[in-house]
Amino acid sequence: MKTLADHMARFMSRVVKVPGGCWLWTGKIHKKNRYGRFRVGKQQFQAHRWLYEQIHGPVDAKLDLDHTCRLRACVNPDHQEPVTRRVNLLRGDTITARHAAAIRCPQGHPYDAENTYVYRGLRYCRICRDAHRAKNKLKARSHAA
């Protein structure tokens, strides 16, 4: 039976340490999510998660390991941080993260306490809403005349 040291040696044989501190996984990569895969016996794990858990202990299944270096191929446990899925998504370079980071609506009005309202989990601009309503009101009046 293989020991943890055996698995660790096999794992590290698939890692290339590069300047900047990243440890790049050169083993199998999952086709869909592009994360490294590591097999121990009949079980497969995300490579970065397996190493992190060997060093720091189990991570709650409800948490993601966020790559603070932003490289999915990095398995350096010092570059991983357990966070909620929401935090992980908002830290990334995604549409969700860009929208959350926006401080102005598409027309340039501020997303502040006075001008912002939330509907079904999304932020909206009161100035734009009011302008849209006024335009529709004028349109309705002109059609009624």
Cα-to-chain-centroid distance, residue 107? 27
Fold of 1-101: Homing Intron 3 (I-Ppo) Encoded Endonuclease; Chain A (3.90.75)
Kindly list the domain boundaries of the chain, sorted by start residue: 1-101, 102-145
**pTM for this prediction:** 0.69
- Beta bridge partners of residue 53, listed in sequence order: none
pLDDT tens digits, one per residue of 12-31? 999 999 999 999 999 999 99
pLDDT tens digits, one per residue of 42-100? 999 999 999 999 999 999 999 999 999 999 999 999 999 999 998 998 888 878 788 87
Q: Strands 37-40, 43-46: parallel, antiparallel or unpaired by DSSP?
A: antiparallel
